[in-house]
């Protein structure tokens, strides 16, 4: 009985915002997909929303949760979304509270399966942004495919100011990471907290023997 009551209590916020969830699903998804209510909203705030929302692959109940409050240290401000382009979900997705998504009329945002973004994350797409499967994004991170202000300090020329952003499969972005336009991060990379990534990263593969691996493991455990 306690487990049942705890589950009901945990889902009360979702029930409160159920009308927004129902309207959003049937307004932006095909009828067959909307009937399964794949997208759940928690305290949503909408800007201009003339764009498309696409779900590719299998559609399941509650597979995409936007604005969910999971930690106490951030307020339950939900999710703020404006979409004049295309947002494509390719599977399970959790974007926690106090987060922001902005896609312009020329923007395309693709989110892979098993994507998790912790609180206070910002995603801005004016061109093309692809977040592949199993990507984990830490608190207060910002990912954008545009520089907004186009100017070069050295010669005063105006570069194009945008570029495709691609975060590879299995990447982990730490707390407060900023990813700028034109950045390509290879699969299974870890970006440390408060890093600013403004250029494409190269994949570095180090060949190690089992003895090297065991030695590094012992160093981690015993110092």
153-184 per-position pLDDT tens digit: 677 677 788 999 999 999 999 999 999 999 99
> Which among 159, 166, 160, 161 has a CA at the least distance from the CA of 143?
166
- What are the strands of the beta sheet with 86-89, ordered from one edge? 52-55, 86-89, 108-111, 129-131, 165-167, 184-185
Q: What is the mean pLDDT of the chain?
A: 88
4 has a pLDDT exceeding 80 = no
Question: How far apart are alpha carbons 90 and 64 in whole angstroms?
Answer: 10
The rounded percent of the chain whose pLDDT value lies above 70 is 82
What is the tens place of the pLDDT at every residue in 62-76?
999 999 887 777 778
**Number of CB atoms found within 10 A of residue 156's CB:** 7
Question: How far apart are alpha carbons 18 and 25 in whole angstroms?
Answer: 11
Report which of residues 160 and 46 the model is more confident about: 46
Report which of residues 140 and 161 the model is more confident about: 140
CB 204 within 8 A of CB 186: no
Residue range 31-38: mean pLDDT, rounded: 96
Backbone torsions φ then ψ of 159, nearest 5 degrees: -70, 175
What pLDDT is stored for residue 201 in this prediction? 80
Q: Give the confidence band of 139 by pLDDT, cuts at 50, 70, 90.
A: very high
Domains of the chain: 2-222 (2.160.10.10)
Report which of residues 220 and 19 the model is more confident about: 19
What pLDDT is stored for residue 182 in this prediction? 93
Q: Give the confidence band of 112 by pLDDT, cuts at 50, 70, 90.
A: very high
Q: Give the confidence band of 1 by pLDDT, cuts at 50, 70, 90.
A: low
**Number of CB atoms found within 10 A of residue 188's CB:** 12
**Number of CB atoms found within 10 A of residue 69's CB:** 17
Question: How far apart are alpha carbons 47 and 4 in whole angstroms?
Answer: 37
205 has a pLDDT exceeding 60 = no
């Amino acid at each position: 009985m306690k487990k049942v009551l705890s589950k009901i209590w945990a889902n009360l916020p979702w029930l409160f915002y159920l009308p927004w969830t129902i309207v959003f699903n049937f307004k932006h998804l095909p009828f067959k997909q909307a009937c399964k209510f794949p997208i759940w909203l928690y305290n949503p705030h909408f800007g201009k929303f003339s764009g498309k929302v696409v779900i590719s692959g299998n559609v399941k109940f509650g597979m995409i949760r936007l604005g969910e409050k999971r930690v106490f240290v951030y307020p339950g401000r939900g999710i703020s979304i404006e979409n004049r382009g295309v947002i494509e979900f390719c599977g399970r997705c959790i974007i926690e509270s106090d987060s922001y998504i902005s896609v312009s009329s020329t923007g395309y945002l693709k989110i892979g399966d098993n994507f998790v973004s912790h609180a206070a994350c910002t995603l801005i797409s004016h061109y093309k942004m692809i977040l592949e499967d199993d990507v984990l994004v830490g608190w207060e991170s910002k990912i954008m495919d545009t520089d907004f202000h186009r100017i070069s300090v050295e010669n005063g020329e105006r570069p194009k100011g945008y570029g495709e952003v691609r975060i590879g499969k299995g990447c982990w972005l730490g707390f407060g990471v900023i990813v700028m336009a034109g950045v390509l991060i290879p699969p299974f990379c870890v970006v440390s907290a408060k890093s600013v990534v403004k250029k494409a990263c190269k994949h570095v593969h180090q060949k190690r023997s089992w003895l090297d691996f065991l030695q590094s493991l012992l160093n981690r455990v015993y110092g």
